[in-house]
């Protein structure tokens, strides 16, 4: 089990509160057919399961290879909708802002807006709101450009792929016939394709998983990050704190949890405006902290402390100090209300399709954002008055971290080293071996994975002079382990340490942290954007660069979609736990071997940090040798 706040686990046990860890134990042993991917529920003749030597095929005749492939594509498609829905919400919000139908939000980064407009072929010599409208419409075009099963517009594909992907990758994807046209159509088509009676070719289905993942990567991840920067401001390198120790016993504590910053940023704004109301209630003020990716979004733009990752959300309530938890969507345990009702904590849902029985629902839209945010903060203040001091226990664990890294902020930092050619210091260090390779780590926390996989894997890579950048719950884990402050440089190898210190010194710091916090789940697009820039700078395709990725504890379908996107980019990827494909030798072989001939990347399987690091280092070493970068 990943390291959690042990004192709070003990407190929950004494108070007879069931947490995620207990529910996990009650599910053991887990279904064998589910674990190896050979359970099919795609029609109502079943469910069917493949039993070697007894039932080699389902009722319709689908064998293990086909069932596993269909399940894989369906998971990638479901994960993709989490990100494309997210991006669409931001695009629609930008359109409302541009057309003056909401004044609760504005345009915070006009330079980023103009940069995007220029890439999209939009003239920038006009007022910001007119530019914003055209950018928003181009974004929404990625969801409405029509295609049919028998007609695909020649040369038409996602705008956000067109403006971000390298020419080499676009040509590769064109040859594979996987350039997506419409993000929503790709996920819809995947469901149709995998129903009983449609595609029966497992290899064809796996190729189409790459197409859907490209929709995720560009019209999900990249679009969401880009447009959020326009509306809320681009991330800046900022210093803050993390872990449940960021809760403050003397203040009204509000936790923003989920993934879409439309909610969290507004709660932060109104918490600052309503400080006086909190003081009237007897508190010293209001303390807003983040949970999961909504926390990262507020952290990288507002410096808001982050309380924890997915597996810590219930523990935040067990402290007895959480007055309100305002949630939007994704990674929110339905059990939060079960825990909240044992305390004074108000659980507040805000999205029409994310409701939890017993929680208070305060609808949140771009037109009512100010009103709703104010109401959420006032609910927290009222709840504070009912807090039971005897139930309060806040752990002392708290760490400093630096966050807000991304393409723009990293380039700005590198410009302090070489103003004329900011990427040159990074590329030179990579070529010389001072940075032996780049590791991109993302993903969730998963109770199936024992020990501290994220943290231990990261330390081994750092020791071997690998620059580690990452997002999501990995970022929470790394920060809580002290891997994102200035003292973390002790974990880096001597060569990498010198690079980090040189860049840090040029920016008024003793050093950059050992790991670079690249943000939330959708901010995996910032990682892909950086790698695309390095590829363009060096004229070397991504799949040939000394890069490896890892999803050490992935838990959601979104993580599978992101991982498949990385594979399409050409990034060899370690995953753990072992995906639900082991029931098919063919699909296992496609992912771990054959895919390398198709995209230049493959899946690495390893169930310990040591083995995972070894496999990633070997992949990086091979790339260096092929480039003759000794």
Query: What token pair was written down for 159?
Result: 């705008």
Please write the tens of the pLDDT for every residue from 344-360: 999 999 999 999 999 99
Judged by DSSP in three states, 161 sits in helix
- Domains of the chain (ranges; CATH) run 6-11+244-391 (3.40.50.2030), 59-232 (1.20.1270.30), 403-627 (3.40.50.2030)
Beta bridge partners of 327: 257, 349
Contacts of 447 (CB under 8 A, 6+ apart): 1, 2, 20, 21, 24, 311
Please write the tens of the pLDDT for every residue from 560-583: 999 999 999 999 999 999 999 999
Contacts 24+ apart (CB under 8 A), 267-273: 267/326, 267/373, 267/376, 267/377, 268/298, 268/302, 268/304, 269/373, 270/370, 270/373, 270/374, 270/376, 270/377, 271/377, 273/374
Please write the tens of the pLDDT for every residue from 244-282: 999 999 999 999 999 999 999 999 999 999 999 999 999
Helices (H), 179-291: 183-193, 202-216, 223-232, 261-273, 275-280
Eight-class DSSP state of 318: H
Q: Which of 210, 213, 186, 75 is nearest to 594 (CA)?
A: 210
Q: Which of 298, 308, 305 is nearest to 266 (CA)?
A: 298
Q: What is the pLDDT of residue 443?
A: 83
Say if residues 124 and 131 touch (Cβ distance below 8 Å). Answer: yes
Please write the tens of the pLDDT for every residue from 275-326: 999 999 999 999 999 999 999 999 999 999 999 999 999 999 999 999 999 9
Query: How distant is the alpha carbon of residue 293 from its chain centre?
Result: 7
Please write the tens of the pLDDT for every residue from 20-60: 999 999 999 999 999 999 999 999 999 999 999 999 999 99
Query: How distant is the alpha carbon of residue 532 from its chain centre?
Result: 18
Instruction: Write the secondary structure of 391-428 as one string of H (helix), E (strand) and C (coil).
Output: HCCCCCCCEEEEECCCHHHHHHHHHCCCCCCCHHHHHH
Give the position of tokens 């007022």: 127
Q: Which of 295, 277, 275, 294 is nearest to 285 (CA)?
A: 275
- The three-point CA angle 384-390-396 to 5° equals 85
Give the position of tokens 């695009």: 91
Give the position of tokens 């990827």: 573
- The three-point CA angle 20-26-31 to 5° equals 110
Q: State the Cα torsion 140-141-146-147 to the nearest 10°.
A: -100
Number of C-beta neighbours around residue 201 at 10 A: 12
What is the pLDDT confidence band of residue 1, given thresholds at 50, 70 and 90? Answer: very low
Query: What token pair was written down for 178?
Result: 């996987």
Eight-class DSSP state of 590: I
Residue 292 to residue 237: CA distance in whole angstroms: 19
What is the pLDDT confidence band of residue 196, given thresholds at 50, 70 and 90? Answer: very high
What is the pLDDT averaged over residues 502-512?
A: 96
Mean pLDDT of the chain: 96
């Amino acid at each position: 089990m990943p390291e959690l706040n042990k004192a709070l686990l003990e407190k929950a046990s004494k108070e007879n509160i069931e947490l995620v860890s207990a529910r996990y134990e009650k599910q053991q042993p887990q279904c064998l057919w589910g674990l190896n991917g050979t359970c099919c529920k795609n029609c109502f003749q079943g469910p069917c399961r493949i039993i070697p030597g007894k039932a080699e095929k389902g009722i319709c005749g689908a064998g293990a290879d086909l069932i596993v492939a269909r399940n894989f594509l369906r998971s990638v498609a479901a994960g993709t909708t989490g990100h494309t829905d997210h991006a669409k919400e931001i695009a629609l919000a930008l359109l409302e802002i541009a057309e003056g139908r909401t004044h609760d939000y504005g345009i915070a980064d006009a330079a980023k807006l103009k940069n995007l407009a220029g890439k999209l072929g939009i003239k920038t010599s006009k007022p910001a709101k007119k530019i914003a409208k055209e950018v928003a419409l181009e974004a929404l075009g990625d969801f409405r450009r029509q295609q049919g099963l028998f007609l695909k517009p020649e040369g038409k594909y996602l705008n956000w792929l067109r403006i971000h992907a390298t020419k080499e990758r676009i040509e590769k994807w064109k040859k594979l016939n996987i350039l997506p046209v419409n993000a929503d159509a790709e996920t819809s088509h995947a469901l149709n394709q995998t129903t009983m009676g449609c595609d029966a070719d497992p290899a064809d289905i796996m190729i189409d998983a790459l197409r859907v993942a490209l929709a995720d990567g560009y019209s999900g991840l990249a679009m969401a990050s880009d447009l959020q920067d326009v509306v809320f401001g681009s991330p800046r390198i900022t210093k803050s704190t993390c872990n449940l120790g960021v809760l403050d016993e003397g203040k009204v504590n509000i936790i923003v949890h989920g993934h879409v910053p439309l909610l969290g940023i507004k709660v932060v704004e109104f918490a600052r405006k309503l400080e006086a109301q909190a003081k009237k209630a007897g508190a010293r003020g209001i303390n807003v902290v983040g949970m999961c990716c909504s926390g990262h979004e507020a952290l990288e733009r507002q410096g808001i402390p982050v309380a924890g990752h997915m597996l810590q959300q219930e523990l935040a309530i067990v402290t007895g100090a959480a007055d309100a938890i305002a949630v939007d969507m994704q990674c929110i345990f339905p059990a939060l209300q079960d825990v909240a009702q044992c305390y004074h904590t108000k659980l507040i849902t805000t999205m029409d399709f994310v409701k939890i029985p017993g929680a208070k629902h305060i609808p949140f839209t771009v037109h009512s954002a100010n009103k709703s945010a104010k109401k959420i903060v006032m609910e927290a203040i009222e709840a504070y008055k009912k807090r039971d001091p005897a139930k309060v226990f806040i752990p002392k664990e708290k760490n400093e971290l630096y966050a807000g890294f991304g393409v723009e902020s990293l380039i700005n930092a590198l410009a302090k080293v070489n103003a004329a050619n900011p990427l040159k210091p990074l590329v030179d260090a990579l070529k010389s071996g001072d940075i032996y390779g780049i590791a991109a780590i993302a993903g969730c926390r998963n109770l199936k994975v024992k020990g501290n996989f994220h943290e231990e894997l990261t330390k081994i890579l750092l020791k071997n002079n690998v620059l580690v950048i990452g997002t999501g719950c990995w970022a929470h884990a790394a920060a809580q382990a002290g891997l994102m402050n200035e003292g973390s440089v002790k974990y880096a190898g001597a060569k990498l340490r010198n690079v980090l210190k040189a860049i840090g010194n040029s920016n008024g710091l003793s050093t950059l942290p050992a790991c670079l916090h690249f943000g939330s789940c959708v901010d995996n697009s910032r990682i892909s954007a950086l790698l695309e820039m390095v590829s363009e700078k060096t004229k070397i395709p991504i799949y040939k660069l000394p890069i490896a990725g890892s999803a050490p504890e992935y838990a959601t379908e979104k993580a599978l979609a992101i991982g498949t996107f990385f594979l399409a980019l050409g990034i060899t990827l370690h995953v753990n736990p072992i995906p639900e494909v082991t029931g098919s030798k063919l699909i296992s072989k496609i992912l771990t071997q054959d895919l390398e001939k198709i995209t230049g990347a493959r899946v690495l399987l390893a169930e310990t940090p040591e083995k995972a690091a070894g496999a990633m280092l070997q992949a990086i070493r091979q790339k260096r040798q092929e480039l003759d970068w000794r």
